[in-house]
A and B are shown apart, each in its own frame.
Chain A
Amino acid sequence: MEQKKIWQSFGELNQSEAFNKDVKDEFKEELPFVAEDGKSFLEAKAPRRDFLKYLGFSTAAAAAAASCEMPVKKSIPFANRPEEIVPGVSKYYATTYVQDGDVVSVLAKVRDGRPIKLEGNDYSPVTGGGTSARVQASVLDLYDTARLRFPTIDGKEVTFEAADNSIAESIKGATGAVILTSTITSPTTKEVIAQFLAKFPGSRHVTYDAVSYSGLLLANELTFGKKAIPSYMFQNAKAIVSLGADFLGTWLSPVEFAKQYAAGKKINEKSPEMSKHIHFESVASLTGSNADEKFLHRPSETAAIAAALLSAVKGSEVSIADKKLKEGIEKAAKALNANKGAALVVSGSNDVNVQVIVNAINDAIGAYGVTIDWASTLNYRAGIDADFVKLVEDMNAGSVGALLIHGANPSYSWFAADKFNAGLKKVKTTISFNTKLDETSVLCKYVLPDHHFLESWGDAEGKSGYISLIQPTINPLFKTRQWQDSLLKWSGASADYLAFVKNYWSAKVGGETGWDKALQAGVINPSLALSAVKGSFNSSAVAAAITAATSGKKGGAVEIVLYEKVGIGAGQGASNPWLQELPDPVTRATWDNYVVVSPKMAKELVKIDLNNNGQADAYEVNPPKPCVKVTVNGKSIELPVLIIPGTQENTIGIAVGYGRSENIGKAAAGVGKNAFVLAGLSGATVSFSADATVTATGEKYPVALTQTHSRYDTAQGNRTEVMKELTLAEYMANPKEILNDREEELKPYGGIEKFEGQGTIYPVYNRPGIKWGMSVDLNSCNGCGACVVACNAENNVAVVGKPEVLRGHEMHWLRIDRYFSGDMENPNVVFQPMMCQHCDNAPCENVCPVAATNHSSEGLNQMTYNRCIGTRYCANNCPYKVRRFNWADYTGADSFPDNQEGIVNDVVLNMNDDLTRMVLNPDVTVRSRGVIEKCSFCVQRLQEAKLTAKKDSRPLEDGDLKVACQQACPTHAITFGNANNKESAISKVRVDNPYRSFYVLEQLHVLPGVTYLAKVRNAEEEKEAKAEKKEEKKAEKAETK
Chain B
Amino acid sequence: MISYRSIAKTLLLSAVLLLGSLLATNVSAQDGKTLFSTNCAACHAVNKRSTGPALAGVEDRWPDKTKLHAWIKNSAAFLKTGDVYANNLYNEYNKTAMNLFPGLSDKDIDAILGYIKSVPAPGSEKPAAGAAAPAPEGDNSLLFGVLTLVLAVVALILLRVNSNLRKLSIERSGEASEEEIPFWKHKSYIALIAVVLFIVGGYLTTKGAMGLGRSQNYQPVQPIYYSHKVHAGTNQINCLYCHGGAQEGKHSNIPSVNICMNCHMSINEYKGEKIYTEEGVEVDGTKEIQKLYKYAGFTVGKPFDASAAKPIEWTRIHNLPDHVYFNHSQHVKAGKVQCQTCHGDITKMDEVKQFADLSMGWCINCHRETKVQFKDNGFYSIYEKFHQDLKSGKIDSTKGITVEKIGGTECQKCHY
Q: Which residues of A contact B (CB under 8 A)?
A: 66, 70, 72-81, 86-89, 766, 768-770, 854, 856-858, 860, 862-867, 923-926, 936, 939-940, 943, 946-947, 949-956, 980-981
Set of chain B residues within 8 Å of A76, measured between Cβ atoms = 311-314
Segment with Cβ contacts to A, from B66-74, B75-83, B120-128, B327-335: B327-335
Closest 8 CB pairs of A and B: A88-B250, A89-B249, A950-B334, A79-B309, A80-B306, A862-B412, A857-B407, A78-B256
- Are B315 and A862 in contact, CB atoms less than 8 angstroms apart? no
Between A and B, 7 residue pairs with Cβ closer than 8 Å are: A72-B316, A74-B316, A75-B315, A89-B250, A856-B410, A947-B330, A954-B378
Interface string of B223-256 (1 = CB under 8 A from A): 0000000000000000000001100111101111
B220 interfacial by beta-carbon distance below 8 Å? yes
Pick the residue among A77, A770, A854, A923 that contacts B411 (CB under 8 A).
A854
A8 CB to nearest B CB, Å: 31
* A77-B255, A78-B256, A80-B258 given; A954·B315 CB < 8 A: no
**B220–A72 CB distance below 8 A:** yes
CA distance A930 to B280 in the complex (A): 50
Q: Which residues of chain A come closer than 8 Å to B313, judged between CB atoms?
A: 74-76
Interface residue from A66, A77, A949 paired with B379 (Cβ < 8 Å): A949
Q: Is the CB of B212 within 8 A of A66?
A: yes
In the assembled complex, B322 has its CB within 8 A of some CB on chain A: yes
Contacting pair B311 A953 (CB below 8 A): no
Residues of chain B contacted by A924 (CB below 8 angstroms): 416
Q: Which residues of B contact A955 (CB under 8 A)?
A: 378-379, 381-382
In addition to A80-B256, A940-B325, A943-B325, 6 A-B residue pairs with Cβ atoms within 8 Å of each other are A76-B313, A87-B251, A89-B250, A856-B411, A936-B416, A950-B377
- Contact between A857 and B415, CB atoms less than 8 A apart: no
**A954–B325 CA distance with the chains assembled, in angstroms:** 23
**Are B325 and A73 touching (Cβ within 8 A)?**
no
B370 to chain A, nearest CB (A): 14
**Chain B 366-399 interface 0/1 with A at a Cβ cutoff of 8 Å (1 = within):** 0000000000111111111110000000000000
Chain B residues lying within 8 Å of A867, measured Cβ to Cβ, are 411
Known: A88-B245, A854-B411, A924-B416. A947 touches B382 (CB 8 A): no
Query: Which residues of A sit under 8 angstroms from B212, Cβ to Cβ?
Result: 66
Are A70 and B215 in contact (CB-based, < 8 A)? yes
B305-323 to A contact mask, C-beta < 8 Å, 1/0: 0110111111110010111
Is the beta-carbon distance between B314 and A75 smaller than 8 angstroms? Answer: yes
Is the Cβ of B381 less than 8 Å from the Cβ of A864?
no
- Contacts A75-B315, A76-B311, A769-B383: A939 and B412 contacting too (C-beta < 8 A)? yes
CB distance from B366 to the nearest CB of A (A): 17
- Is B329 touching A72 in the complex (CB atoms < 8 A)? no
Q: Is the CB of B415 within 8 A of A864?
A: yes
Contact A864 B412 (CB under 8 A): yes
Are B254 and A926 in contact, CB atoms less than 8 angstroms apart? no
B213 within 8 A of A: yes
Q: Which residues of B contact A88 (CB under 8 A)?
A: 245, 249-251, 253
A69 CB to nearest B CB, Å:
10
CA distance A943 to B380 in the complex (A): 14
CA of A845 to CA of B340, assembled, Å: 38
Residue on B nearest A852 in the bound complex, by CB: B411
Asked if B406 is at the interface (CB within 8 A of a chain A CB), the reply is yes
By beta carbon, the residue of chain B nearest A946 is B379
CB atoms of B256 and A77 under 8 A apart: yes
Residue pair B220, A79 in contact (C-beta under 8 Å) = no
Q: How far is the CA of A860 from the CA of B295 in the complex (A)?
A: 48
Report yes or no: A947 in contact with B411, Cβ–Cβ below 8 A: no
Known contacts A80-B307, A86-B249, A949-B379, A860 near B412 by CB under 8 Å: yes
Q: Are A769 and B406 in contact (CB under 8 A)?
A: yes
Q: Which residues of A contact B381 (CB under 8 A)?
A: 955
Smallest CB separation, A839 vs chain B (Å): 15
- Rounded to whole Å, the gap between the CB of A585 and the closest CB of chain B is 29
Given contacts A949-B379, A955-B382, contact A857 B314 (CB under 8 A): no
Interchain CA distance A766-B384 in the complex, whole Å: 12
Chain A, residue nearest B335 (CB):
A950
Interface residues of B toward A: which range?
Answer: 35 or more
Chain A contacts of B307 at CB under 8 A? Answer: 80
> Is A864 a contact partner of B251 (Cβ separation < 8 A)?
no
**Interface membership of B413, Cβ < 8 A:** yes
> Shortest beta-carbon distance, B291 to chain A, in Å?
15
Assess the B322–A926 pair: CB atoms within 8 A: yes
Q: What residues of A have a CB within 8 angstroms of the CB of B256 in the complex? A: 77-81
Residue B259 CB within 8 A of the other chain: yes
Give Cα A956–Cα B383 distance, bound, in whole angstroms: 12
Which residues of A are found within 8 Å of B406, using beta-carbon distances?
A: 768-769, 857
Q: Are A956 and B382 in contact (CB under 8 A)?
A: yes
B223 CB → nearest A CB, Å: 10
- B-chain residues with CB within 8 Å of residue A80 when the two chains form the complex: 256-258, 306-307, 309
- Once the chains bind, are A953 and B377 in contact (CB under 8 Å)? yes
B325 to chain A, nearest CB (A): 6
Min CB distance, B378 to chain A, in Å?
4
Q: Using CB atoms, name the residue of chain B closest to A941.
A: B416
Of the residues A66, A953, A980, contact of B376 by C-beta under 8 Å:
A953
Residues in B whose Cβ lies below 8 Å from that of A980:
382
Contact of A77 among B249, B253, B384 (CB under 8 A): B253
Give the residue of B258, B325, B327, B412 whose beta carbon is less than 8 angstroms from that of A856: B412
From B316, B327, B383, B412, give the contact of A75 (CB < 8 A).
Answer: B316
Contact in complex: A865, B415 (CB < 8 Å)? yes
Chain B residues, Cβ within 8 Å of A866:
321, 323, 415
Q: Report Cα–Cα, A854/B412, bound state, in Å.
A: 9
Smallest beta-carbon distance B52→chain A, Å: 33
Report whether A950 and B416 are in contact in the complex, using a CB–CB cutoff of 8 Å. no
Partner of A951, one of B250, B312, B323, B333: B333
- Given known pairs A768-B385, A946-B379, the reply for A86 and B245 (CB within 8 Å) is yes
Q: How far is the CA of A865 from the CA of B322 in the complex (A)?
A: 11
Q: How far is the CB of B299 from chain A (nearest CB, A)?
A: 17
Set B258, B314, B412: member contacting A79, Cβ < 8 A: B258
Q: In the complex, A15 Cα to B315 Cα: how many Å? A: 64
Q: Are A953 and B379 in contact (CB under 8 A)?
A: yes
Residues B325 and A923 in contact, CB atoms below 8 Å apart: yes
Q: Are A81 and B383 in contact (CB under 8 A)?
A: no
Cβ contacts under 8 Å, A926 to chain B: 322
A797 to chain B, nearest CB (A): 13
Are A79 and B413 interface neighbours, CB within 8 A? Answer: no
Given contacts A770-B382, A857-B410, is CB(A925)–CB(B258) below 8 Å? no
Chain B residues whose C-beta falls within 8 Å of the C-beta of A863 in the assembled complex: 412
Set of chain B residues within 8 Å of A856, measured between Cβ atoms: 407, 410-413
The CA of A952 and the CA of B376, in the complex, are separated in Å by 11
B330 proximity list for chain A (CB < 8 A): 947, 950
Q: CA of A797 to CA of B310 in the docked complex: distance in angstroms?
A: 37
Chain B residue, CB-CB nearest to A953: B378
Among B310, B313, B385, B410, the most chain A Cβ lie within 10 Å of the Cβ of B410
Instruction: Give the docked Cα–Cα distance between A860 and B413 (Å).
Output: 11
With A80-B257, A87-B253, A856-B410 as contacts: A73 and B319 at CB distance below 8 Å: yes
A72 to B220, CA, bound (A): 9
Please judge, given known A-B contacts A79-B309, A769-B383, whether A925 and B415 are in contact too, CB under 8 Å.
Answer: yes
B51 → chain A, closest Cβ, in Å? 31
Closest B residue to A857 using CB positions: B407
Chain B, residue nearest A855 (CB): B410
Instruction: Report how far A304 CA is from B379 CA in the complex, Å.
Output: 65
Provide the residues of chain B in CB contact with A939, threshold 8 Å.
412, 416
Residue of B nearest to A72 (CB): B315
Q: Are A947 and B329 in contact (CB under 8 A)?
A: yes
- How near does chain B come to A468, taking the closest CB pair, in angstroms? 29
Chain B, residue nearest A66 (CB): B212
Whether A936 touches B379, Cβ cut-off 8 Å, given contacts A81-B256, A856-B407, is: no
The answer on a CB contact under 8 Å between A864 and B411 is yes
Write out the residue numbers on chain B whose beta carbons fall within 8 Å of the beta carbon of A954.
378-379
Q: Which residue on B lies nearest to A923, using beta carbons?
A: B325
Is A79 in contact with B310, judged by CB distance below 8 angstroms?
yes
B306 in contact with A79 (CB, 8 Å): yes
